[in-house]
Amino acid sequence: MEPTSKGKSPMRITDIVDAKKSGATVAVHIRFEILPVDFRHGSSPFQAHIFLAHYHGTIDTVPFEFRKCYARGCPNNLCTHVSQAVNIANRYLQRDYRVLVSAGIGIQQELFALDDMVVKFERLKETDEPALTIPELIGLAQAGKPISVDIALEFLPAVEHFANQENAQTFLSGELTASTENKTYHCHRCFACFATDGSGSERSQAVQVANARLEMMYKEFERVGIAHEKAFFR
């Protein structure tokens, strides 16, 4: 995805930062949602909670809004457990806050918090494999650990539930399995999403956003020597 330009609404944190660097007046606000979702994972559908941040504001008085999924949590081995997911989401969110603040963009720095309903969703299993964020994997590689990463990408259809309404969304999902000398880590990332019943242009835009995020990730992998093979959404 190209940097934000006149007439193009931002779809990533990078777009907001680029607008600020180009001299635009930027105002950013954020609101949070933790939504129950039914994922249609082939013949093995599962339920989860997704951690969404809705970014909205103005760039040179022109309003914008986009959403970013920070984590997915569920009580089975198809994704990170919900009790871990909230911590993963907040670590990614705090990284984005640092990027915005470094660019001179002020924002109220709130975090995701589990309510009682979500806390009761399922207790954390002690046997869960360790889950890290992608920046944390990069940090391990910088510390000298040899790491290889296998990447599996998927268009994952789902139905979000909010206020007695159902919202069909397709998530551009990535599952990363990172192997070191004696340990395996799992990272899940939602790289973009679009309305399942939306237009072809919405799907195309989501693919552009996801692939731009993937390209940034691969550049970081190459910088620190993480072995990987590039994969992109088509």
* pLDDT 10s digits, 21-65: 999 999 999 999 999 999 987 677 888 999 999 999 999 999 999
Mind listing the pLDDT tens digit for each residue in 155-165?
999 999 987 78
Position 1 pLDDT exceeds 60? no
Six token digits for residue 22: 């180009």
Residues contacting 103, CB < 8 A, separation 6+: 16, 17, 20, 21
49: closest CA among 106, 104, 88?
Answer: 88
Q: What is the pTM of this model?
A: 0.84
Give the pLDDT band of residue 130 (cuts 50, 70, 90).
low
**Does 198 have pLDDT greater than 80?**
yes
Residue 59 in tokens: 């760039």
Distance of CA 173 to the CA centre of its chain: 9
In the chain, the percentage of residues whose pLDDT exceeds 90 is: 70
Region 97-107 average pLDDT: 97
* pLDDT at residue number 199: 85
Cβ atoms within 10 Å, residue 122: 14
What is the identity of the amino acid at 5? S
| Higher pLDDT among residues 221 and 113, named by residue | 221
Flag whether pLDDT at 77 surpasses 80. no
The strand order across the sheet containing 62-73 reads 62-73, 46-59, 26-39, 148-162, 165-179, 184-195
In this prediction, residue 121 has a pLDDT band, given cuts at 50, 70 and 90, of very low
Q: What is the pLDDT, as a whole number, of residue 225?
A: 97
In the block, residue with structure tokens 């069909």:
168
Confidence of residue 81 (pLDDT cuts 50, 70, 90): confident
The domain spans of the chain are 13-224
pLDDT of residue 44: 78
CB-based burial of residue 44 (10 Å sphere; 0-12 exposed, 13-18 middle, 19+ buried)?
exposed
* Confidence check: pLDDT of 2 > 70: no
